[in-house]
């Protein structure tokens, strides 16, 4: 069980890296759309603001993950609940958009499914 929890955290960190890369790619695509006249400056700024918000949310979640000791949890479900509750609290206090939470939650469920062998 302890290996499963450690694996969950390590794989989740890799998935967060992947998520950050995807958001950086979206920012570049948005920049190209602005230059090509496909979107307005207003839309570009709104999109970039959301992407930056999501990147900050991921960094905050990564901090929670780094501060979490997997040895102190009895099960993967309890670890996930801990991460979920701490991140929800951080989201509220930092004003993160719900989109960041949704992306991170999907990554957690994906990794949990993988480490459980489902």
Q: What is the pLDDT of residues 49-100, one digit of tens each?
A: 999 999 999 999 999 999 999 999 999 999 999 999 999 999 999 999 998 8
pLDDT at position 1:
65
Q: What angle do CA 86, 102, 79 make, to 5 degrees?
A: 35
pLDDT at position 2:
73
Quote the tokens at residue 64. Answer: 């929670």
Instruction: Give per-residue burial for 26-41: e unless 16+ CB within 10 Å, then b.
Output: ebeebeeebeeeebee
**% the chain with pLDDT above 90:** 91
Give me the phi and psi of 117, to 5 degrees please: 80, 25
Tell me what the pLDDT averaged over the chain comes to: 94
pLDDT at position 99:
87
Q: Which residues contact 112 (CB under 8 A, 6 or more apart)?
A: 8, 76, 80
pLDDT at position 13:
96
């Amino acid at each position: 069980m302890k290996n499963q929890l450690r694996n969950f955290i390590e794989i989740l960190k890799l998935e967060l890296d992947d998520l950050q890369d995807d958001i950086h790619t979206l920012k570049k695509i948005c920049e190209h759309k602005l230059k090509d006249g496909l979107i307005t400056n207003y839309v570009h700024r709104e999109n970039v603001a959301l992407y930056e918000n999501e990147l900050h949310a991921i960094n905050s979640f990564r901090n929670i993950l780094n501060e979490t000791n997997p040895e102190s949890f009895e099960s993967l479900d309890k670890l996930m609940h801990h991460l979920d509750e701490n991140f929800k609290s951080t989201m509220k206090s930092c004003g993160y958009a719900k989109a960041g939470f949704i992306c991170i939650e999907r990554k957690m469920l994906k990794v949990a499914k993988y480490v459980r062998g489902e």
